[in-house]
């Protein structure tokens, strides 16, 4: 009994390789994040380095507002204050990010460089100075490094391992039995399956390799994993291995059910053979 494939053109539904354009946009996003973190943190770190170890209470600054937000052990504090200077009152902001185990409210004191009221910061900023340096450096390296990796992926030419089978899309297909010749992990996300058709016109005996997402198995026709079902067109130049979920071609739920039923009917006589042999004995 032949597999019940539909008598209509079928679309190939193989997953496409990750887009190089998508990797480029990831690079841009990561660079924006790394640049934003540097823009918010580096000027404050440079200013506070000049005050660290030589601070006194601020004499010409007044606290305006402050807010700290926590994400588990990561804390972000925004502090706003007014500072009097030769040209009048200036409003300044301090953005502080650091790791700490802390629950509850915080108090804030404004500090200045000893003898220089133009350099103002907070006790929170100075108390966590080296913590802030490490935190900013980690995030800049994380997003910057990830962005560079994405840029490398965007610039690297990518071969579509399944390009041969996409030519079958939109054609009338016929079933083909294939002998499985093993598999290998292409990367963490995909597996490559090697097989050869038993009968497929010009492709008879030719070996093919189909790359599927990791965890996707062929539509096996025996318990030993030696025979599977594939499809090809009238020319028979390319033979597409079907996956267990029958998702690589656009079958309806009813058509998938018919194929599963056909396979089950094929297996039923084999399952009965040992029982018949025992009864005969």
N-term to C-term CA, the chain: 30
Helix 129-155 with 20-51: angle, nearest 10 deg: 160
What average pLDDT does this structure show over 8-23?
Answer: 83
| Chain segment 155-173, per-residue pLDDT in tens | 776 778 899 999 999 999 9
Up-side HSE of residue 231: CA atoms within 13 Å toward CB? 30
Please tell me the distance from the alpha carbon of residue 154 to that of residue 148, in angstroms, as a whole number.
Answer: 10
Please tell me the distance from the alpha carbon of residue 43 to that of residue 126, in angstroms, as a whole number.
Answer: 14
Please tell me the distance from the alpha carbon of residue 129 to that of residue 146, in angstroms, as a whole number.
Answer: 26
| Chain segment 181-201, per-residue pLDDT in tens | 999 987 788 899 999 998 767
| Chain segment 212-260, per-residue pLDDT in tens | 999 999 999 998 889 999 999 988 889 999 999 999 999 999 999 999 9
Nearest CA among 119, 98, 101 for reference residue 110:
119
Look up residue 60 and give its two tokens. 């010409």
Q: Answer for the pair 139, 147: CB distance below 8 angstroms, yes or no.
A: no
What average pLDDT does this structure show over 67-80?
Answer: 90
Look up residue 203 and give its two tokens. 């492709």
Structural domain boundaries of the chain?
Answer: 9-17+160-272, 20-155
Q: What is the chain's alpha carbon radius of gyration, rounded to the nearest angstrom?
A: 33
Q: Answer for the pair 196, 180: CB distance below 8 angstroms, yes or no.
A: no
Please tell me the distance from the alpha carbon of residue 58 to that of residue 113, in angstroms, as a whole number.
Answer: 8
pTM of the model: 0.57
């Amino acid at each position: 009994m032949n597999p019940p494939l539909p008598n209509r053109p079928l679309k190939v539904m193989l997953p496409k390789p990750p887009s190089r354009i998508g990797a480029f946009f990831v690079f841009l996003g990561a660079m924006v994040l790394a640049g934003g973190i540097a823009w918010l943190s580096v000027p404050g770190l440079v200013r506070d380095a000049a005050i660290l170890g030589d601070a006194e209470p601020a004499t010409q600054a007044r606290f305006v507002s402050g807010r700290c937000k926590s994400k588990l052990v990561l804390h972000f504090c925004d502090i706003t204050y007014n500072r009097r200077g030769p040209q009048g009152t200036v409003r300044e902001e301090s953005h502080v990010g650091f790791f700490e185990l802390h629950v509850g409210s915080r108090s804030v004191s404004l500090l200045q460089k000893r003898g220089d009221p133009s350099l103002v910061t907070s006790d929170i900023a100075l108390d966590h100075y080296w913590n802030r340096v490490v935190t900013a450096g980690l995030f800049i390296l994380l997003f910057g490094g990830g962005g560079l990796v994405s840029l490398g992926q965007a610039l690297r030419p990518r071969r579509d391992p399944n390009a041969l089978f996409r030519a079958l899309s939109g054609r009338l297909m016929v079933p083909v039995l294939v002998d499985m010749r093993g598999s290998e992990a292409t990367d963490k996300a995909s597996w490559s399956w090697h097989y050869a058709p038993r009968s497929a016109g010009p492709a008879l005996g030719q070996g093919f390799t189909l790359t599927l997402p990791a965890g996707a198995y062929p539509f096996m026709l025996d318990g030993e994993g030696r025979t599977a079902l594939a499809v090809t067109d009238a020319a028979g130049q390319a033979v597409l291995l079907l996956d267990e979920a029958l998702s690589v071609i656009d079958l309806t739920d009813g058509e998938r059910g018919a194929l599963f039923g056909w396979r089950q009917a094929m297996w039923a006589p084999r399952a009965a053979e040992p029982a018949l042999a025992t009864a005969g004995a």
